Structures are given as structure tokens and as C-alpha cells.
Amino acid sequence: MSTVSGTGPGTADAPSPDDALHEAAALADRDTPPRHGAAPDGPVLAADGTPLKRSLARALRLQKTRALMLIAPLLIFVLISFIVPIAQMLWRSVENDIVSNTLPMTVPELAQWDASDGGLPPEPVFRAMYYDMFLAAEAKKHTRLGTRLNYEQTGISSLFRQSGRKLDDLGKDILKPLRALDGDWAQAAPWFELMSGADGAAKDTAALEAQRDRLRRVTESPLAGEIGFAPSSEISALLPLTAQAYTDFAIFTVLEDGKDLAKTKPWETVYPALIEDMQTADVAGYGGPRAGMLQALRAGIAEFPPPSYSAAFADIDADWAAPQVWQTIQTHARTVTPGYFLNAVDMQLTPDGAAAQPESKQILVKLFGRTLVMSLIIMGSCILLGYPIAYLLANLPMRTANVLLILVLLPFWTSLLVRTSAWKVMLQQQGVINDTLVWLGLVADESRLVMINNQFGTIVAMTHILLPFMILPMYSVMQTIPPSYVRAAKSLGATNWTTFWRVYFPQSVPGIGAGSILVFILAIGYYITPEIVGGTKGVFISNRIAYHISSSLNWGLAAALGTILLAVVLLLYWCYDKIVGIDNVKLG
Amino acid sequence: MSIALAHKPGTQFTTAVTAAFGAFAGLLVGTSQGSALIGIVLGAVALGALAWALMTFDLPERMARWAILAVVAALGLLIGGIAGLFVGLIFGWFFGWLIYWIGSGRYRMKLAPYLTPGQVLWHYTFRVICGAIFVFLITPILVVMPLSFNAEDFFTFTPEMLRFDPEGYSLKHYRDFFTNNEWQRSFKNSLIIAPIATVISVSLGTLAAIGLSQSHVPFRRAIMAILISPMIVPLIISATGMFFFYSQIGNWMEGTLGLNKTFVGYVKVVLAHAVLGIPFVIITVTATLVGFDRSLTRAAANMGADPVRTFFKVQMPLILPGVISGGLFAFITSFDEVVVVLFVGSASQKTLPWQMFTGLREQISPTILAVATILVAISIALLTTVELLRRRSERLRGMSPG
Amino acid sequence: MESNQMKLKTIMLTTAAAMIAAPAFAGSHMASEMTIVSWGGAYSKSQLKAYHEPYSEMTGTTILNDDSSAEAVAKLRAMNEAGNITWDVVDVVAADAIRLCDEGLAMEIDPDTQLAAAPDGTSAADDFGDLLVSDCFIPQIVYSTTFGYRTDLVGDTPPTSVCAVFDTEAYPGKRSLEKRPINNMEWALMCDGVAKEDVYDVLATDEGQDQALAKLATIKDDVVWWSAGADTPQLLADGEVVMGSTYNGRLFSVIEEQNQPVAMLWDAQVFDLDGWIIPAGLSPEREARALDYIMFATDTQRLADQAKYISYGPARMSSAPLVGQHADLGIDMAPHMPTDPENAKNTLLYNYEFWADYRDDIDAKFQAWLAQ
């Protein structure tokens, strides 16, 4: 029967009415007729006439609901205010849509490029990059992308920053002869008229919305609202690239800068776009406004060679003329990347797949290992120091024990920062301990002990800080161990050691377990104390997480490190729950 | 003290034990004076002889102990100056006490008479080990206290301080704490935030723990893991993650509800700290409920009490110790928390640990030690009061103080 | 989810209402309050005296100090993502300002129209000169990272060159260095025979980085690594280290205000800048107020005033002649400025461009090297 009973704590001791409820439910489930009941043939009925099975199920449901109702407020609170934000934070460990959002045209073009022959990507990639980058620079997002890619290849950050400033050059170089041809090309109004078409002309709103959508991804702002412009369908078909470039400019100028389109000179991107379009465009049939400008340009197009985007990029910076940058962009273009996790285990994502980091940069795996080992040592020393204290407290008269408990709680009440500083004062070479030892003559003045800025310092300080977390659960468990067991064992002839080891110790294990899991979990996530007393060899992985969160802004890597750390902790938690049971954790 | 001393040990035993301690003390003094060996021999002989003499001639204890104290202190002064005097006082008191404690057999008085000498030895060795661990626990805090009276702005024992020169001491860091607005404001903030956060986590946590302790809770393990998670996620990750959530909540409260910005700031920090305190409450209260006999609630229900009444009159008093200790942990979590408040809080919610953190990083000021000393004094006072109240209520209830 | 959120909000509201009986429903925000973020400690105090107090007096604005500059970059990014920017003006070092500008988290400021010109009419852009290292950044002070040494522990020949740090024979004892590659790598190379002007070219190569680390390895066992600016002064006061690097203002405080037996070693000091940025995305009226504050706080007289309270050099050329005496000690501040010609015989300027690119890469190597 007991197979049905719950695993909850209430069922631990004597049979309870709950068990009876379960047994009855199990009975009612069976098809065999009950020994006594209202209707020998039909289902068993409860007092109010409903079938017992249903009635019991309802009672069970009610109980479950009540339990859930009690839990619900907290559960919802923790879920919303903790789990969801943490999950979002951890999601950053794989999120990588910044590349494809900032360079929406370049990424698909680049995907078709085969980098294995060592050459540069084809011209369309450069062209896409030019327009993407220009837009990103206007939206001031190119530097953000540069920072992101700089994690992968050193130097991209300043490459992007400087390129953003020089992107105008290509357009300006074209504008010069263009202006000589017709001054209107450098004016705001003629462009606006040309692009809008005549009053009442058909508008290519689809193109407008497509560009708006694209800009939205780059700028991360809603860009909603009427802009009072859409390219005319005729122009959009005749000069597709120009229309696109001008539409980008139009949306951005009206919605982000809040300027009047007819009075603002277009971005430099329209000039190379225009020249490229005009190489093949047949403007003879064009009847919209400013047809003369176009026809004049078409007639003199021989003086305007098609723009070379790759040459323009090579002019901006020689790095663009080398395949590495392009390979980096290609490799890190996907929206969900394993790159951060690879980085977190001292590997990197290369064009050829995952590879180990150069040896001189491998540190994180070592730090993970060190964090685990040191946390274990700290946990171990907490057990060693905490057990006698807890034992003493549990076996002293209440009065004395409470006074001594104050000694345990006092450090607990003192700020972590103060205690860490106090350890610094104690342990350093000109510190209290060394001074005392020197004064006593136990240590020579010139060979003072090195006890801080190393692993020893971290272990001592953290053991001290976490010791109350070990003592209190142990104490509360030991308090419940009846002294009669020990006396019984002794009177049966057991030696002191046997009594302790075979009788007392096993009963105190839950306390050790609870304290250990608490100390270990807390230790693994510490970073302030190791930062202050740990020197170079006593720092933990959390220190690197904090560094990447607050200094290098590489939140993806920080999130990946945090996810791994969390996974380790959860694994341990799960093991602990399996072995000891989380219900047995007692804090005091 | 009228009990006849059953085991007054022989003079030889007393002499030997005292001589052993004397040898150890001699080792310490001897090393600092140049020769450890001479120290050991001299210490052992001197103290052995002293013990033998005292036990043989049966001098009045009080007078003899004062005499020892005076002589050893004078010796200390002679060898090591003022500091030596202190060591001498301690040694003198200790040896006077030791000789009579052993010699008159007092050391066995509180122990069961059937213990073997080995067990007695272990008993006291164990006490000494425990004492050493207590010293480990408490020394850093004791070190902090004198430093907080430092006349200089460093965490250093200056030569003046070591000479006990009044010049080396000052109350300026205490003055700074009480007059500096930043410190006062942050102290006040901590006193506002920590108790409210504790109340929230204790009330929600206790309810949930009671719910969790029912026998038929679906997804019990998963729920438990979720509720404990604030304890196991590294703080820096929690801090950044929570920042986003609380910013949005803050936007909403300021924008839609039109609440005061400062007030919203407090709500944010309080809620963030409440989340961090929850695992401690859950763990302690669930653990208390494991031992809770639930037939009591059924009995209450049987007698016509409604669930609320049952909870407050029957369940609550019994699980109160767990709730209190959970609350204590939650309070400390908030009162000593620096990482999350750095992110979630803004200037007007600066808490004490935050102020200490900038104090440590941006200026070296023993003011943080003064604060720590004040807090320790307050908590000693509080804990002592609680203990005295407990003893009083025990007396009133007629229980013998355990 | 939606309903849960509503429920949570209801709960929070009730708790909130119950928590404080005092009227919490004030106007959405006070019209003239601004939050200025800085480093805390003596530095914030100098800003309070030189900028905040006169500005509040002049305009009636309440200024709230937030000592969060150390976390400013991370917090600003988080604020920007959450769309809730609570800061109005932020004090950061130039490297952070560049990062913030790159990330689009700080707004661009035009020095010619949005900053005050010098009293003689020189435009702000010319007055600040090369120190305008980023479009978003208005420098405030020039500080330097340099060495201080214990006068009683160095024997009869006090160090005169930064290379004394690497000479454990002549100057035995520990030294404290910052736990990051910046500055340390440059000093190591300079003391390993690389000419000052070649340092960054060498450091850009793998071999150069290895060379610098190898030089640092010669003293690795004698180094205490610091991460907070207050560490080295404490270590020097304790006699825990014989020499150590830190910000010159900290050393000034140790030497002049605390009278410790410490002296400055100005050789190869690395200049760096600290100044203001305004977060991007403020509402127009807050932005206008922040700009107004910046215009006031970075004018010639204000920058010179700050030097009364802390020994950092004003970033404007026109402020230098106005630097007076220390407000409490009454000593001349000019000789304690890192920019004083006596002190600035051999200096380096923090290479922002280089470190913006190489920081992540070299830092990973440096940390791996430290952990070996």
C-alpha cells in the first residue's frame, strides 16, 4: 500500500490520515468489490452520495490546490523577478544577432563566399558592406559591432571606428565631377523631387516598408510614423539601388533626426548608387521630374566609371584588403553562436570550426578547476573546524551554549568587507600574526611568512567567513541527537571511538551535508574576498565573470561562464538531493 | 564547594603537569630571548618547583596566586617592557590558576567520576581545540576594534598604538561616522531596507514552506529548486539579470502609477533583497516543518479552529524558531549585501555595505572599522538582551535554566 | 504571464502602500534634481566643493551624488537596454568614455558650441587640445599613474628611474602593481631596452607581449597586485611594499596629508584623463540641464578650483596658471601636479586607440600569465 503514499515529509513517521486517504483511494481504484459499502455492485459511495473515488480525488485535488495556493505567491514572485531575468541574462551566452542585424545585406552575400582559397570576397560583398556600414555608422551602431568582433579578432574595434569616419569619401569623390556636370545633384530639393516622382505618381510603398524594417533592426528603435515620402514606382524600377539608398536616408532623417527631407542633402551613399544604376539604366523613357538631369548624366556616363567598393575599402584601411576581417565576420555571422561557450572553455570559433585557444591565453578551464578545488578545500576546513564547535555547543548546557553561540554569530554579523580587511591586517607580512611571531622570536624578521595574496589567504579568510554557515546547520542537527544513544552504546561496551564513529557521527551526517552544500555553493560564487586577499593564484572564476560584466563588457562570455558555473552547482545540488535530500538541510 | 574532593591528585602529578606547561612557556620566552633550550629547562624547573612548593606547604590560595601574578608580571616587565608586562600578567594569572586547579583536584569536579585519565585528558584537549577555533572566529573582529581608534587614516597598528601612547588613538573615525551625511544616510537606508526585505521574504517564504510541506505537492522538487535558485546563481549574474527586470518595473511604477522616484528605488532594492533572502527562509522553515507533528493541526481543526487560527495559534508558535533563524539569515543577507545593490540601487538607496565598499576602494578610512565596531557592540547588546529575556521567561515558566 | 505580472504588481503595490505611510505619490520627478556619478572618496569631495556646491547655489539644482563610476560602463549599458537612464552626468576615465561612445551609450558633445570658451576667447576645442580623445568625452583632469616609494626602505640611493621597480637587487622588497596589463606592459618594455616611441609597435606583436611578460616575470614573486586605488597607499603606509604604482593624487594624500615616509617617483608616469560624459537617450530637458552643468563645470575657473582640493591637473590649458594653493594645507599645488614641467620630464600618454583594440587580447594573456 505504501507505494501510493507521497514522498512528502509528512509521511515520515506514523501512518497518518493522509495515508488512509491514499489507501482508500487505491482501494476505490480496484475493481474488487469492497468488504462493506453502500452498494455491493456499484461504485463505493461517500456520505453525500458521490462515488468515493471521485470524492477522494476531489479531496486530493483540494489539498493539492491548497498547497499550490500557498506556494503560488512566492513561486510567481521568484519566477518573474528572478528566474526570467536570469534566463534572459544567460541567453546572452548564445545570442549573436548583432552581426546580422547591423550588416543585413553583407551577411547573406558573405555566406556565399568561399574563404578557403585565401582570396578576398567578391565585389558584391564589398558593395553590401559599404551600404550596411554607412547606415550603421549613421545610426552609430558600427562601433558596437566593432567591439563585439574585437573579442574575436584584435583590431576590429578601431578598424570599424575609423572606417565609419572615412566612409563618406567614396560618395564625395563622385559628387565632385557630378556637381560639375549639374549643380543640382548636390542640392536637397532636386533629389527629393526626383525620388518622389510627380504628384500623384504611383509609389513603391513596399520598398519603403522593407527599408523601414531593415533600419529598425539596425537602430533598435521603433521608427514608427509618417515620413511624407516614398520612392515613386518608376524611379524604384529604374534606379533600384539609388532609390533604396535614398529611402534609407529619408526614413532616418525624418524619424531619427527630425529634419525636413526637402531641405536636407542626401547621404553620400546615393552617389555611388546612382552611378552604378546609371551604367545600365535606360532613361530615355523616363518622364518624371528632373528627367533632364538624368539624361544629361546618362549622356556623360562614360566619364563616370562604375564605383569600385573594394578599392574604396582598401583606401580606408589596408586591413579591409586582407581576408582575415572578412573571415571573422563570416564566422561570427550566425544569430545563435556557440562561440562564447567555446571561449569559456579556452577554445575559439575559427573559420575551420572549433579550435583551442593559443596556450598563452588559456586560463578559464584552469580557473574553473581551481574554483572547484578551493571551494572543496574551504568546505573541508569548514567541516574540520565547525564540527568540534557544533559538537561542543550541542553538548553544553543551554546557558553556556547560548553564550558561545554569540561568539559564532558575531563574525556573522560583521560585514564581509570588514572581515576581509581584518584578515588582510592579520595576514600580511607586516601584519598582526607576523609581528607577533617576530616579536616572540619564532620567525626571523627578514623571513616573515607569506600568508596573503595567495591561495592560503583566500582559504583562511573564506573559511572564516563561511564557518557560521557550517556550524549552525550542524548544531541544529546535533541538538536533536538524543544523548541516550551514546550512553547506551557505551554501556554496551563500545569504546569512545566506536561510540562516536558508529553511533554519534552517522546521526550528525545530515548536518554536515547541509552545511557542506551551503558552504560549497556560497564559496563557488564568491568574488569580493578572493579579489582582495587572493593575489594571483587565489582568485576564482567569479572574478573573471565580474571582470567581463563590468570592465570588458563581454557579457556573452560572462553569461557563458555563469551558465557553466550554474550547471555545475545544479548538478551538485541534484546529487545532494539524491543522496541526502534537500529536506534534510537545516540551518538552525 | 562543600563536596569533599574525592581525587586530590598527588603533589608529583601537579608538579609534572605544571612543569610541562612551564616548559612550553619557557620555550616561547626562551626563543624570543635567544635560546629555546635554556628557556624550556628554566621554565620547567621554575614552575615545577613552584607547584611543588605550593602543594607541599599548603599556602592560602588567594595570597599565593596574587604573589605569583606579581612576580611573573615583574619578570615580564623586566624582560619585555610594557608588552612584556602584559604577557607576564597573563602568564602569572594562568599559572596561579593552573597549579591550584590541578593541585586541588578541581579539574575533575565537573566530570563524571568514572572517566579514565585518558578521557579526562581528551576532554580538556577537546576544549582547548574548541577554544582555539573560537579564537580563530573572533580574533579578526577583535583586531578591528583597536584599529578603529587609530589616529591615522590607515589600517595599520602604528608604533604609537603599540606603545599605548594616547597620541596614537583618536575617536575621529567615530566622529566621521556620526557627522558624515553619507554614512548616516547609508546607515539609515540599511535600517529601512533590510527589515522590510526580511519581512517580505519571511512571510512569503513561510507560507510557501508550509505549502511545500503538504504531502501532495506536484513538481515539488522543481519548485524547491526554483525557490532555492537565488542562493546558487553567482551574485554578479543575478545582479545584472535583476537589473533589467527592476528597471522595467521601475519604469512602469514611475510612469503608469506616477510614484515618487525615490520611493520606487527603495521598492526595487527591497524586492531584490527579498528574493535573495528567500532560499534561507525556505530551507530553515521546511526543515523545521519536517519535525512538525501534523496531527496537531488536525486536532485544532477537529476542535473547530479555522485554518488561519490554527496557523497562528498552533503551527506558528511551534515553527517560530525556524522562522526566526531564517529571518536572521535573510536579514544578514540584505544587511551585508553589496553586489546586487550596486546594480539595482541608485544613489538615494545607498546602503551601508555599498558605502563601505566605496570606502575601501576609493579612500582608506578606518571609518568602516568604526562602523563595524559599533555594529558588533549593537549586536552583542541585542544578543545578550535576547538571551537574558529567554532566561527570564524560562525562570518565570518555572523551568530550571538548562 | 500577463496576468501573473498583473498579480505581482498588485502584490507589490499593496506591500508598497503598507510599507510607508508617508505620501509616496509625489510628482513624477522633481524638476531640478540631477544625479551625478563619480568615484567617491576624496575625488568626489573635490568635485562637490569645486563644481556641485557653486552650481547648486547658482541654479538651485539639487545634485545627488552616486559613487558608481567603477561600475559605470556596465550599469550604463544595462540602463540603456532597459530604457531607464537614471544618471544625468557621469564621471569616467577616458578609456571607458571611448568604450561608451563606441557602444552608443554616451552622447556626442560638440566642444565649440556646447562648452565654454576660455576667458581669452580661445575656443574650448583648442583649449582642451589633444585631450579631447573621444567625441563624447569632456576631460576634466589629467592624472597620472606613477610610483611612490618608502623613503626609509630604499637606503641611501632613492630610485630615480622607473626601472628601479625591476631592480630587486638594489631595492629588495615587494612592489605593488595594478592587476591589469595596461601601464605595466609599457614599463616592462621600456626597462627591457625598448625605446619609448616604439613601445606600442612592439606591444602589438605576440613577441613583444611575450617580451613584456618575460620582463615582468623577473619580479613576479615580489609583486603585490592591486585592484583598488586605495591599495597601494595602504601597502606603502604598512611598509608592506617598498614601492608601488597608483594614482598621483593618492600619493599626494599619503605624503602631504598623512605625513607618511613616502616620496614620489615621477619617472615614466603615465598620463590619463578623467572627465564627463552624458548618457545617450536622456529626455530633452534633462539633456539640456546636463549640458548646462557640463558647460559650467568644465570652464576654466572651475577646473582650476578643483586643483585646490586634489592634486590632479586641470585639463584646460587656460586653467593651469590659475591653480592656487591647497584649501586645507595651504601649500602650492602646482609642484604636485603631474603636468608640472619638473615632474613631466619623462612621461607616457595612455594610448587609447591601442588599448581599445588590444585590451581584451592582452588582458587574457596577462591573466593567464598571472595564474601560472
**C318-342: per-residue pLDDT in tens?**
998 898 899 888 999 989 999 888 9
In DSSP terms, B358 is beta-bridged to none
- Give the pLDDT of residue A584: 56
CB A304 within 8 A of CB A121: no
Question: Does C99 contact A553 at a Cβ distance shorter than 8 Å?
Answer: yes
Rg of chain C taking only CA atoms, in angstroms: 23
Domain C32-142+274-336 annotated CATH 3.10.129.10: no
Q: Quick check: B155 contacting C, CB < 8 Å? A: yes
Return the domain boundaries, chain C. Answer: 32-142+274-336, 154-270+346-371
Which of B243, B260, B266 is facing C25, going by the closest CB pair? B260
Residue B374 maps to a domain: no
CB B223 within 8 A of CB B217: yes
Give the range of the structural domain holding residue B99, as residue numbers without chain letter: 11-110
Average model confidence (pLDDT) for chain B?
86
Residue B198 maps to a domain: yes
- Give the pLDDT of residue C52: 96
Q: Nearest-5° angle of CA B64, CA B65, CA B71?
A: 90
CB B72 within 8 A of CB B88: yes
CB A503 within 8 A of CB A418: no
| B270 chain-C contacts, CB cut-off 8 A | 19
Count CB neighbours of C265 within 10 A. Answer: 21
Distance from CA of C27 to the nearest CA of B (A): 7
Lowest mean pLDDT across A151-155, A325-329, C28-32, C188-192: C28-32
At B349-374, the pLDDT tens digits run 999 999 998 888 887 788 989 998 99
Identify the closest residue of chain A to C228 by CA–CA distance: A532
Number of domains in chain A: 3
Question: Does B362 contact C41 at a Cβ distance shorter than 8 Å?
Answer: yes
At B21-49, the pLDDT tens digits run 999 988 888 887 778 889 899 999 999 99
Q: Is A376 helix (H, G, I), strand (E, B) or coil?
A: helix
Residue B380 maps to a domain: no
A59 and A175 in a common domain:
no
Q: Kindly state the cell numbers that stand for A544.
A: 573573471
In the DSSP assignment, the letter for residue A92 is T
Q: Kindly state the cell numbers that stand for B141.
A: 573582529
Q: Kindly state the cell numbers that stand for A492.
A: 554496551
Long-range residue pairs from B105-114, CB within 8 A, at least 24 positions apart, any chain? B105/B5, B105/B6, B105/B7, B105/B8, B105/B9, B106/B5, B108/B6, B108/B7, B109/B3, B109/B5, B113/B6
B320 and B207 in a common domain:
yes
Q: Nearest-5° angle of CA A110, CA A111, CA A115?
A: 75
Residue A319 maps to a domain: no
At B78-105, the pLDDT tens digits run 887 787 888 889 999 999 899 888 888 8
Residue B402 maps to a domain: no
In the DSSP assignment, the letter for residue C1 is -
| C102 chain-A contacts, CB cut-off 8 A | 143-144, 146-147, 157, 161
- Give the pLDDT of residue A42: 66
Which of B252, B266, B358 is facing C41, going by the closest CB pair? B358
- Give the pLDDT of residue A346: 94
B220 and B89 in a common domain:
no
Residue C6 above 80 pLDDT?
Answer: no
Residue A198 above 50 pLDDT?
Answer: yes
- CATH number at A525 reads 1.10.3720.10
Average model confidence (pLDDT) for chain C?
88
Residue A224 maps to a domain: yes
Q: Quick check: C18 contacting B, CB < 8 Å? A: no
- Give the pLDDT of residue A223: 87
User: Is residue B397 very low, low, confident or very high in pLDDT (cuts 50, 70, 90)?
Assistant: low
Identify the closest residue of chain C to B193 by CA–CA distance: C19
- The rounded distance, in Å, linking the Cα atoms of A55 and A37 is 15
- The rounded distance, in Å, linking the Cα atoms of A520 and A573 is 10
Residue B291 above 80 pLDDT?
Answer: no
Residue A403 above 90 pLDDT?
Answer: no
Q: Kindly state the cell numbers that stand for A312.
A: 574604396
Residue B5 above 50 pLDDT?
Answer: no
Average pLDDT over residues B161-189: 91
Nearest to C73 by CA among A151, B343, B246, A543: B343
In DSSP terms, A349 is beta-bridged to A354
| C11 chain-A contacts, CB cut-off 8 A | 73, 77
Q: Kindly state the cell numbers that stand for B77.
A: 616587565
Question: Does C227 contact A141 at a Cβ distance shorter than 8 Å?
Answer: no
In the block, cell 593651469 appears at C320
| CA distance from start to end of chain B | 20
Mutate to test the interface with B, among A16, A71, A518 (most CBs of B within 10 A): A71
At C259-286, the pLDDT tens digits run 999 999 999 999 999 999 999 999 999 9
Q: Percent helix, strand and coil across chain A, each rounded to 5?
A: 70, 0, 30
Residue B375 maps to a domain: no
- The rounded distance, in Å, linking the Cα atoms of C265 and C258 is 18
- The rounded distance, in Å, linking the Cα atoms of A394 and A397 is 8
| A432 chain-C contacts, CB cut-off 8 A | none
Identify the closest residue of chain B to C27 by CA–CA distance: B260
At B222-278, the pLDDT tens digits run 888 889 889 878 787 898 889 888 888 888 888 888 888 889 999 999 999 999 999
Would the pTM count as exceeding 0.90? no
- The rounded distance, in Å, linking the Cα atoms of A49 and A55 is 9
Residue B152 maps to a domain: no
Q: Where are the alpha helices (DSSP H) in A414-445?
A: 416-427, 432-440
- CATH number at B320 reads 1.10.3720.10
Question: Does A550 contact C73 at a Cβ distance shorter than 8 Å?
Answer: yes
Q: Where are the alpha helices (DSSP H) in B148-260?
A: 159-162, 172-179, 181-212, 220-232, 235-255
Average pLDDT over residues C355-367: 91
Residue A324 maps to a domain: no
Nearest to C235 by CA among C154, C181, C173: C173
In DSSP terms, A323 is beta-bridged to none
At A94-141, the pLDDT tens digits run 999 999 999 999 999 999 998 888 889 999 999 999 999 999 999 889
Residue A535 above 70 pLDDT?
Answer: yes
Distance from CA of C201 to the nearest CA of B (A): 34
The torsion angles phi and psi of B338, rounded to 5 degrees, stand at -125, -30
At C15-64, the pLDDT tens digits run 444 444 333 333 334 458 899 999 988 899 999 999 999 999 999 999 99
Please state which CATH class domain C154-270+346-371 belongs to.
alpha beta
Q: Percent helix, strand and coil across chain C, each rounded to 5?
A: 45, 20, 35
Q: Which letter, b or e, does each residue of B156-173 get, where b requires 16 or more Cβ atoms within 10 Å of its Cβ?
A: bbbeebeeeeeebbeebb
The torsion angles phi and psi of A500, rounded to 5 degrees, stand at -65, -50
Q: Quick check: C74 contacting B, CB < 8 Å? A: yes
- The rounded distance, in Å, linking the Cα atoms of A386 and A408 is 10
- Give the pLDDT of residue A536: 87
Nearest to C249 by CA among C172, C148, C101: C148
Number of domains in chain B: 2
- Give the pLDDT of residue A14: 40
Distance from CA of A159 to the nearest CA of C (A): 9
Average model confidence (pLDDT) for chain A?
86
CB A414 within 8 A of CB B141: yes
At C129-162, the pLDDT tens digits run 999 999 999 999 999 999 999 999 998 999 999 9
Give the range of the structural domain holding residue A39, as residue numbers without chain letter: 2-91
- The rounded distance, in Å, linking the Cα atoms of B377 and B391 is 21
Interface confidence: ipTM more than 0.90: no
Residue A318 above 50 pLDDT?
Answer: yes
